[in-house]
Chains A and B, each alone.
Chain A
Amino acid sequence: MLPTDQLFSNYVPVLIASIAGFILVFSALIGSRLLAPFSEEREKGTTYECGMLPLRRASTNVGNRFYLYAILFIIFDVEAVFIFPWALSFVGIGPLAYWTMVTFIAILGLGLAYAWKKGALQWR
């Protein structure tokens, strides 16, 4: 366990790194704005489609085939969040902690098996 101010100061570099990352991208864009040519020609703003004009806006119709994966992902990712603290402490707590987690993962495994059987894991 760390004192609170050290917990905070540990994440100061994370803040600095995100600001540095932002400045890095931003300054590159500014540099390009200063150096690169710029023209107002309308034809340059057309969508890349090998010379064809696209029929409709691309964002109108989206074949969203992976929402089932997304739901499963959320379930298993939340599960991973539960497993993380368990994985660091179960040896000290003993077999009870282990078999509890076996039950938990078995229930999730049954869920995965059900999704598999229902064909939710099949990309169509």
Chain B
Amino acid sequence: MSTEIFGIEDVNVWVDGLIRVLLIVGFMTVVVMGLIYGERKILARFQQRLGPTRTGPIGLLQSVADALKLVGKEDLRPRNADPWTFELAPYLVFIPVFLGFVIVPFVLDWQIRILELGLLYFVAVSGVNIVGWIMAGWGSDNRYAMIGGMRAAAQGISYELPLVLSLLAVAMVVEVPAPVIDGAASVASDSEYVRGSLNLNEIVAAQHEVPNLVWQPLVMIVFIIAALAELNRTPFDIPVGESEVVGGPFVEYSGIRWSMFFLAEYAALLIMALVFAAVFLGGWAWPFGIWMDDAPPRWAQALAVAAKAGAFIFLVFWIRASVPRLRIDQLMSFSWKVLLPLMLVQVLVNGLVLVYDWPLIILTVVGLAGVVALAAIVDRAVRHPRPRPAVAAQLQGEAAS
């Protein structure tokens, strides 16, 4: 029941956990402020504006000023709101997101905790905040909030499945050292390595030469799409679409309570980026493993993770700047009719290649074919958009009469 932190041996596990969690709280707060500033600056550049420039040097203190303003702002609760659901919703939105940090591998041997079931834990806790969203929508007693909450729930559960299956498909392929029980290798295998792990640290270490995106290109694309939807990001931001439901579930929230939703949103983006970097791009291990036998220095690992996560976050901002919002029926059918079947097939293909020990290059070829198929489906849908079902029925009625 003891562990090691900062070179000090034999630290009580509670003390160790507390120190690590507090460090992550500080890290998260600073990075989220940076992300908000970064998003405003980057979006501004896309729109040929300058973004924040006045607060501090080149506007760097803008997020600090915003946070101070939000703390000092009156915290309103509508008279008709349901007190318990309204007040508890920010907790239920933020805490599950924050719990995701427990398994994120930052650099070698530095995360809050290595959990054997890390990926399963991640998908389990990241799904819980849907409850918070729907509570916020229901508790506010506002139609916009209600519609937004319902949309958030529908979208959240629909894209949860491709997300879970994409992480699962990757977890099948990674090759990790066989678990050791009482000094002997596990009975299930006679070699030193086995396929399949949910432990994020093992997944990262296994990619020291070739990152998983090489074996699973289609899975990576589907993960990005599903992650955008889980994060309620453009083009999947219909639950919070300002022009349709004026902010969705948090239309009635103000001041610090509203900023909790905001904090949760950016913290979720950060975690998703770090998980993406770890699962598909090899986290701290790749590309150093190609020419180094030992682990690279910590600063190099941190730089690699920051670059990979930063690339994901920049992609998210870029998509926000360039793509219009989807319609809800398009959004739902895209998940259920395209992404889910693709991921089921991918899981079965992965299984076939692994169980008969075929060369992994087959997975690359099949994955690239899947990417082309997905692109063709999206391209067709963009070129021949179908009208909304209700509108289609109306048009048919007019044509008949």
Contact = CB atoms under 8 A, between A and B. Distances in A.
B123 to A, nearest CB: 8
Interface in A71-124: 72-73, 76-77, 80, 83-84, 87-95, 97-98, 101-102, 105, 108-109, 112, 116, 121-124
Given A28-B260, A32-B255, A121 B168 contact: no
Contact of B142 (A22, A58, A69): A58
B161 A2 contact: no
B150 A14 contact: no
Contact of B99 (A18, A65, A92, A102): A18
B159 to A, nearest CB: 10
Among A1, A47, A77, the most chain B Cβ lie within 10 Å of the Cβ of A47
Given A25-B90, A44-B76, A84 B142 contact: no
B368 to A, nearest CB: 22
Contacts, number: 235
Contacts of A91: 189, 194-196, 354-355
Given A14-B102, A17-B102, A93 B164 contact: no
Nearest to B113: A13
Contacts of A31: 71, 256
Contact of B161 (A26, A37, A66, A73): A73
B77 A45 contact: yes
A73 B158 CA distance: 7
A80 B390 contact: no
Assign chain B's interface to a size class: 35 or more
Among A24, A72, A91, the most chain B Cβ lie within 10 Å of the Cβ of A91
B13 interface: yes
A69 B332 contact: yes
* Majority secondary structure, A binding face: helix
A69 B95 CA distance: 26
B205 to A, nearest CB: 16
B181 A36 contact: no
A88 B196 contact: yes
Interface in B7-29: 13-14, 16-18, 20-22, 24-25
Given A90-B354, A109-B344, 19 more contacts: A12-B14, A16-B18, A17-B21, A18-B98, A32-B255, A33-B75, A37-B74, A44-B74, A45-B79, A47-B78, A58-B142, A66-B150, A66-B153, A69-B154, A69-B336, A70-B157, A73-B160, A121-B333, A123-B332
27 contacts: A1-B181, A11-B113, A17-B17, A18-B99, A20-B98, A21-B98, A25-B260, A28-B259, A32-B75, A36-B255, A36-B256, A38-B74, A45-B80, A47-B141, A48-B78, A48-B246, A57-B80, A64-B150, A65-B150, A66-B154, A69-B154, A69-B157, A87-B196, A102-B351, A116-B337, A123-B333, A123-B389
Interface of B: 1, 3, 13-14, 16-18, 20-22, 24-25, 70-80, 82, 90-91, 94-95, 98-99, 101-102, 112-116, 120-121, 138, 140-146, 150, 153-154, 157-158, 160-161, 164-165, 168, 171-172, 179, 181, 186, 188-189, 194-198, 246, 251-252, 255-257, 259-260, 328-329, 332-333, 336-337, 340-341, 344, 347-348, 351-352, 354-356, 389-390
